[in-house]
A and B are shown apart, each in its own frame.
Chain A
Amino acid sequence: SYELTQPLSVSVALGQTASITCGGNQIGSKNVHWYQQKPGQAPVLVIYSDYNRPSGIPERFSGSNSGNTATLTISGAQAGDEADYYCQVWDSSTRRVFGGGTKLTVL
């Protein structure tokens, strides 16, 4: 079965750039999606198909995907960006797969 690996936690200073990685075998050949989940709330799609932002998502959220690693980048992190972030792909055998999630702390 296909697996996605994310760091448990990432910290970033207010206003700086945070990078959250998502590792998987040849993930660069798949479409990667990223979700933000704040405490007590449902997940929200922030990046789809590697680097596309849904309507209403700030430009400071960006994504990339190559080789065995996809990356969500948050430029100029704000206190309101503190949340759990999940990557997700579609795999032909496992179907829809989520990473374990990364807790982003804004210091």
Chain B
Amino acid sequence: EVQLLESGGGLVQPGGSLRLSCAASGFTFSAYAMSWVRQTPGKGLEWVTGISDSGGKTYYADSVKGRFTISRDNSKNSLYLQMNSLRVEDTALYYCAKDGSSSALDSWGQGTLVTVSS
């Protein structure tokens, strides 16, 4: 059974930094691309960033480009999201998700909440 467990969320002031982690199990982590998707409370889904299976390619939404960095450690079955220069509008529940067929996200974690507020 695929399991994705996010951690690292919390309260941070505007301009601050936070690092999210996602521990993966139940599948061959190194064989799959991964993504982070966020959801503002009561709102829709927004894709944030993605990374290829090897980590050699990364993709970012314009809203986070230059501020967020996605990475992975295949030896630890872990995905990361380094978030710098955080803004109030980055407040959201952040989901880790596994890429499946044709860019579909076939497994999701339960999310970790990031609150940016002074």
Contact = CB atoms under 8 A, between A and B. Distances in A.
Contacts of B46: 98
B45 A43 contact: yes
Contact of A31 (B35, B103, B111): B103
Interface stretch (B7-15, B21-29, B82-90, B94-102): B94-102
Query: Would you list the 6 A-B pairs with minimal beta carbon distance, nearest first?
Result: A90-B103, A48-B104, A96-B47, A33-B104, A42-B108, A31-B102
Tell me what chain A mostly uses at the interface: helix, strand, loop, or mixed: strand
A33 B101 CA distance: 10
Contacts of A33: 102-105
Contact of A48 (B60, B100, B110): B100
B31 interface: no
B45 A44 contact: no
Contact of A86 (B35, B45, B95, B101): B45
Tell me what chain B mostly uses at the interface: helix, strand, loop, or mixed: strand
Nearest to B96: A42
A95 B61 CA distance: 8
Interface residues of A, number: 24
Interface string A34-56: 01010000111100110010100
A35 B44 CA distance: 12
20 contacts: A1-B62, A31-B102, A31-B104, A33-B103, A33-B105, A43-B108, A52-B101, A86-B45, A88-B45, A88-B103, A88-B104, A88-B105, A89-B103, A90-B102, A90-B103, A95-B60, A96-B50, A96-B103, A99-B44, A100-B44
Given A31-B103, A43-B105, 13 more contacts: A1-B62, A31-B102, A33-B102, A43-B95, A45-B100, A45-B105, A48-B102, A48-B106, A49-B101, A52-B101, A86-B44, A90-B103, A96-B35
